[in-house]
C-alpha cells in the first residue's frame, strides 16, 4: 500500500480498514429462461488477419483456435409474458456484467444423437492422471466444454463404460481410479454455452411485438477454461 498524501496523513492520521468487499462472481449458473424460436440466429465467428500481396497471394493468420459464437435470441420472444421474463432476467444479470447458460439449438451434445460414452476422446491413461477435461472435436479443432448439463455425462475407459467418476465445476471428469497407461478415456454429454448479453441496453416495446416483429437480443459466448 502506497500513501502519497503524506502531509495530510501526518496532520489527520491514517485509519486502515481490514474489511473488504467480497469478490463478485461474473457468472450465474442459470439457464436462459426462454425457448429459442425457429428464427433465432447462431453465428460462429473467428478472428483472422489476412494480408494480400500485390500479386494477389494471401497470408492468413488465425488468432483464435476455435470459433466464438454470437446469438440473437430475439425471435424466441412470443408474448408479453416473455418480454417481462426477458427484462427481469436482463436486470438480474446487470446487463452484460454477469454470464449465464444458453442451450444452443444446433450444437448442444457430444454427438449427433443421445450421448454415448464413446462420443468424444478426452484423454489417454498414464497410470497417474485421473482428471480429464471435457472437450468436443470439430475435425482438428478442439472445443473445451465447461458447462455440461448435470446428469448427462457418460464415461468409458478402454471402451468400457464406468460410473466410478464425478464431474467437477468447469467440466472436469474425475475418475475414482487413474486409468492404466494407454487406455482411451472417452465421454458423451450434453452441454450449455456460457454467454452474456452483448450490449448494456435492451430495447423492446409493445408496438413492435404486436406488429409481429421480433426484438433483437444479441448474446455473445464467454471464453472459459
pLDDT confidence tier of residue 75, bands split at 50, 70 and 90? confident
pLDDT above 90 coverage of the chain, percent:
62
From 90-104, 146-160, 203-217, the region with the lowest mean pLDDT? 203-217
Q: CA angle, corner 203, sides to 197 and 204, nearest 5?
A: 115
- Give me the pLDDT at residue 5, please: 63
Q: Which three cell numbers stand for residue 179?
A: 486409468
- Smallest CA-to-CA distance from 42 within 68, 63, 64 is with 68
pLDDT confidence tier of residue 179, bands split at 50, 70 and 90? very high
Q: What's the pTM? A: 0.81
Tens digits of per-residue pLDDT, 148-178?
999 999 999 999 999 999 999 999 999 999 9
pLDDT for 17 beyond 60: no
138 against 7, higher pLDDT? 138
pLDDT for 212 beyond 60: no
Are 134 and 174 a contacting pair, CB within 8 Å? no
For the chain, give every domain's residue range.
27-104+194-221, 120-188
Cα separation, 180 vs 126, in Å, equals 6
Amino acid at each position: 500500500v502506497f500513501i502519497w498524501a503524506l502531509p495530510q496523513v501526518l496532520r489527520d492520521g491514517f485509519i486502515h480498514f481490514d474489511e473488504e468487499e467480497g469478490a463478485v462472481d461474473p457468472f450465474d449458473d442459470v439457464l436462459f429462461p426462454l425457448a429459442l424460436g425457429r428464427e433465432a440466429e447462431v453465428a460462429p465467428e473467428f478472428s483472422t488477419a489476412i494480408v494480400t500481396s500485390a500479386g494477389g497471394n494471401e497470408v492468413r493468420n488465425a488468432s483464435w483456435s476455435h470459433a466464438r459464437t454470437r446469438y440473437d435470441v430475439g425471435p424466441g420472444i412470443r408474448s408479453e409474458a416473455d418480454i417481462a421474463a426477458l427484462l427481469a432476467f436482463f436486470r438480474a444479470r446487470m446487463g452484460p456484467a454477469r454470464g449465464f447458460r444458453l442451450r444452443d439449438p444446433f450444437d448442444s451434445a457430444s454427438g449427433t444423437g443421445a450421448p454415448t460414452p464413446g462420443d468424444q476422446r478426452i484423454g489417454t491413461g498414464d497410470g497417474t492422471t485421473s482428471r480429464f477435461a471435457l472437450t468436443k472435436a470439430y475435425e482438428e479443432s478442439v472445443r473445451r466444454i465447461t458447462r455440461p448439463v448435470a446428469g448427462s455425462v457418460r464415461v468409458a475407459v478402454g471402451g468400457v463404460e464406468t460410473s466410478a467418476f464425478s464431474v467437477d465445476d468447469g467440466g472436469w471428469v474425475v475418475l475414482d481410479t487413474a486409468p492404466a497407461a494407454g487406455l482411451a478415456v472417452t465421454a458423451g454429454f450434453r452441454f450449455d454455452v456460457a454467454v452474456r448479453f452483448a450490449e448494456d441496453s435492451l430495447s423492446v416495446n409493445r408496438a413492435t411485438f404486436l406488429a409481429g416483429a421480433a426484438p433483437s437480443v444479441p448474446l455473445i459466448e464467454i471464453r472459459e477454461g
